[in-house]
Amino acid sequence: MNTMAEPLTEAISQQDVLDTMDLVHSEIEATVRGVKPQQVIELAAQLRAAPRVFVAGAGRSGLALRMAAMRLMHLGLAVHVAGDATTPAIAEGDLLLVASGSGTTAGVVQNVRTAQRVGARIAAITTDPSSPIGSAAHVLVEVPAAGKTDHGSSITRQYSGSLFEQALFLITEIVFHTLWSADDATAQQLWQRHANLE
């Protein structure tokens, strides 16, 4: 039995939850509205034009990109997640989509360098355009959020990169919906591509 449950419940009020909901909602709204629409348009166009799309990210950013990869697959794009056992080699003309709040995540930077060597194009979502992944990108979406180690940030009161990761998810959803809106496919047609081995 969890002896912490009762005191914790007493310590958290409904107003605490409402205040936190307002905080998270207002920060996400301001951050997503701060993203330049033209950058999102360019990302969507590059995704649609690429013969194959590869996504690479670490930690929670990587999880958000895995969700994005599923949605792009639903659209009929050839998409692969870096590190999966069946992911083929990236090649010239392919598009590598990466995300890192700092733009310096070691594994993501290494993936960018590999993509550069073979002539693949790079799309990056980051808070820092001058970072290694930002400066290497052919297409950049800059997210006006704090980095995960910027604990004294005035941009967010949330913990360690949460705002970037929340915005990343919404930006990729916006890209998906924008691409879908430009397509004639119905939701049922997209759903036929959904995994049936789970």
Model pLDDT, residue 25: 97
Model pLDDT, residue 120: 98
In terms of DSSP bridges, do strands 139-142 and 79-81 run parallel, antiparallel, or are they unpaired?
unpaired
Model pLDDT, residue 63: 98
Place of tokens 């870096």: 82
Letter for the amino acid at 73?
A: M
d(CA 174, CA 69): 13
DSSP code, position 122: E
Model pLDDT, residue 151: 65
Model pLDDT, residue 90: 98
> Based on C-alpha coordinates, what's the Rg of the chain?
19
Element containing residue 22 per DSSP (H, E): helix 14-33
* Residues annotated catalytic, as ranges: 165
Q: Which two tokens stand for residue 61?
A: 């950013």
Q: What is the pTM of this model?
A: 0.91
Per-residue pLDDT of the chain (198 residues; tens, 9 = 90+): 455 556 666 789 999 999 999 999 999 999 999 999 999 999 999 999 999 999 999 999 999 999 999 999 999 999 999 999 999 999 999 999 999 999 999 999 999 999 999 999 999 999 999 999 999 999 999 999 977 667 677 788 888 889 999 999 999 999 999 999 999 999 999 999 999 998
Model pLDDT, residue 4: 56
Q: Which two tokens stand for residue 169?
A: 């998810």
Phi-psi region of 161 (alpha: psi -120 to 50; beta: other; left: phi over 0): left
**How many CA atoms lie within 13 Å of 44's alpha carbon, on the beta-carbon side?**
20
